[in-house]
Amino acid sequence: MQRARAAATKAKRLLERLPVTAYIGLGANLGQAAQTLRWAVAQMAQWHGVCLQAVSDLYRTAPHEAQCPDFVNAVALVETTRTAPELLQALLALELQAGRERPYRNAPRTLDLDLLLYGDACINSPQLVVPHPRMHERAFVLVPLAQIAPELVTACKLHDVKNQVISQLESWD
């Protein structure tokens, strides 16, 4: 009886939680990278407590601070009732499903998912830092983010990354 009551209380809290706008960076540079990003977006769209609102086009980018194949990148906008740590755990689980390994820093990857922004929250924990601490330095984040949320990316920020190689590949249509 007590377990049922606890489950009902947890369910009620989830229903009462207001949706938060979050932005997720997606990237891959191993295997069929574009196909993997499409799969990841389709998986996220099915998650309970997550409503996919928009996805940028796909972009090809040279690796940043690494020697490896080019990346395919995008940014997704979601509305979620999940907490930031819950959303992060779901993203990490999806990376594992895609075969993500972390043998060393900036290693090539089958799928990389980063929680870039979570509402206006500032989070600084050992597991999660939001806003993403290096997003302002990376064209592969700023250019697709500007496509789906231009109010979040200033011309000055885009100017700061103008020397990073990035090219639009395709839209989701």
Structural domain of 62: 19-170
Q: Is 134 a catalytic residue?
A: no
Q: How many residues does the chain have?
A: 173
DSSP H or E run through 39: helix 33-45
pLDDT of 113: 95
With respect to residue 111, please indicate whether it lies within any of the assigned structural domains: yes
pTM for the whole structure: 0.85
Q: Which of 112, 120, 134, 173 is catalytic?
A: 112
* 105 in any annotated domain: yes
Of the candidates 135, 133, 146, 154, the residue with the CA atom closest to the CA atom of residue 59: 146
Model pLDDT for residues 31-43, shown as the tens digit of each residue: 899 999 999 999 9
Q: Which of 5, 17, 60, 100 is catalytic?
A: 100
Q: Which of 136, 111, 110, 24 is nearest to 74 (CA)?
A: 24
Q: Is residue 9 part of a domain?
A: no
In a domain, 10, yes or no: no
**Is there a domain that residue 13 lies in?**
no
Q: Is the pLDDT of residue 64 over 90?
A: no
Q: Is there a domain that residue 99 lies in?
A: yes
From the list 5, 109, 120, 160, the catalytic residue is 109
Could you give the C-alpha distances from 131 to 23, 77, 160, 167, in angstroms and in order?
10, 14, 18, 25
Q: How many domains does the chain have?
A: 1
Average pLDDT over residues 62-68: 73
Q: The CATH number of the domain where 125 resides is what?
A: 3.30.70.560
In sequence order, the β-bridge partners of residue 124 are 129
Q: Closest Cα to residue 136, out of 118, 105, 167, 159?
A: 159
In a domain, 156, yes or no: yes
